[in-house]
Amino acid sequence: MDLGSEAVHIDVFTLFPPWFDWFRGQRHVVNAMALGSSVEAVDYRAHTPLKAGQVDDTPFGGGAGMVLRVDVVEAALRARYGEDPVGLREHRRVIALTPGGRLLDDALASELADEPALTLLCGRYEGFDERILEHFVSDQVSIGRYVLAGGELAAMVVMDTVLRKLPGVLGDDSSAREESFSEALEGAPEYPHYTRPAQWRGWTVPEVLLSGHHARVDEWRREQSRRRAGGPLP
Ligand SMILES: C[S@@+](CC[C@H](N)C(=O)[O-])C[C@H]1O[C@@H](n2cnc3c(N)ncnc32)[C@H](O)[C@@H]1O
């Protein structure tokens, strides 16, 4: 079993804090917050030392797009945590969402769910000034080898998979314990599920699932899961 700690306090640094209002309204997120977790969106612009809410600048060396400035990110982190962000990552996971980062998988989600607190930094435009990644962050995480317009959706994906691992969040903790890629299923995809009606257009449900024989059902599920580990589903 690998459920996370009791609660996780997550700060997401973003240029679009209202995006996270929708996320906070989702049932499992509401449950997580009721059980002591928190999700707070922090606006990079709120503490920018630059005029007119500027947060980015043109890249040295030329090229398209704008780059999120290191002084702006430092000011936002200092305002939030009251310390030099160079030291922050020594005692708190500070995660930049980047396309080339460590790929998010179930093992990483479990690892993050064991942390008491997380900081997620969303990039925009061309991304982060490299010094942010070098000096302020403990991890870089990617949700896949493709490029999104910004880190906000990636942050929501990370938070979704982390929060649903916390005890009590899903109502029935076994939902998160035995599912695709979990230790309980030895990292394999989950077995198939069926519900009523038992017959539909001649499509039947495997007999064993209707047998009421729990040990046989369990054995069948594990076998199906192992079979699915053999290759991708169509
Ligand atoms: C348009 S992207 C920047 C892409 C960057 N120029 C590159 O080629 O790698 C803007 C921001 O979106 C976020 N982002 C985009 N794709 C992502 C992914 N697959 N996983 C995590 N974050 C992603 C990052 O925060 C990134 O800084």
**Which protein residue's CA is at the shortest distance from atom 6 of ligand 1?**
126
Ligand 1 pocket test target in 104, 147, 152, 158 with most atoms within 8 Å of CB: 147
Whether this model's pTM surpasses 0.85: yes
Residue 150 Cβ contacting ligand 1 at under 6 Å: yes
Report the alpha-carbon distance of residue 148 to residue 116 in Å, rounded.
28
Which pLDDT score is estimated for 175? 78
Compute, in angstroms, the gap from residue 103 CA to the centroid of ligand 1. Answer: 13
Compute, in angstroms, the gap from residue 169 CA to the centroid of ligand 1. Answer: 29
Ligand 1 pocket test target in 97, 104, 137 with most atoms within 8 Å of CB: 97
pLDDT bin (cut points 50, 70, 90) of residue 233 is low
- In the structure encoding, which two tokens stand for residue 159, read together? 């938070």
**Which protein residue's CA is at the shortest distance from atom 12 of ligand 1?**
150
Compute, in angstroms, the gap from residue 79 CA to the centroid of ligand 1. Answer: 25
Residue 118 Cβ contacting ligand 1 at under 6 Å: no
Ligand 1 atom, smallest distance to 147 CA: 16
Largest CA distance in the chain: 70
Q: What distance lies between CA 168 and its chain's CA centroid?
A: 18
First to last CA, the chain: 29
Which pLDDT score is estimated for 109? 97
pLDDT bin (cut points 50, 70, 90) of residue 1 is very low
**What DSSP letter does each residue of 193-208 carry, written as one string?**
---S-SEETTEE--GG
Compute, in angstroms, the gap from residue 123 CA to the centroid of ligand 1. Answer: 6
Residues 163-204 have pLDDT tens digits of 999 999 998 877 778 899 998 999 999 999 999 999 999 999
Report the alpha-carbon distance of residue 202 to residue 161 in Å, rounded.
37
Inter-CA distances, 195 with 61, 168, 191, 199, 207, Å:
59, 24, 14, 10, 13
Q: Evaluate if residue 206 carries a pLDDT over 70.
A: yes
**Which protein residue's CA is at the shortest distance from atom 15 of ligand 1?**
148
pLDDT bin (cut points 50, 70, 90) of residue 4 is low
Residues 33-56 have pLDDT tens digits of 999 999 999 999 999 999 999 999
Residues 90-132 have pLDDT tens digits of 999 999 999 999 999 999 999 999 999 999 999 999 999 999 9
Compute, in angstroms, the gap from residue 208 CA to the centroid of ligand 1. Answer: 46
Which pLDDT score is estimated for 164? 95
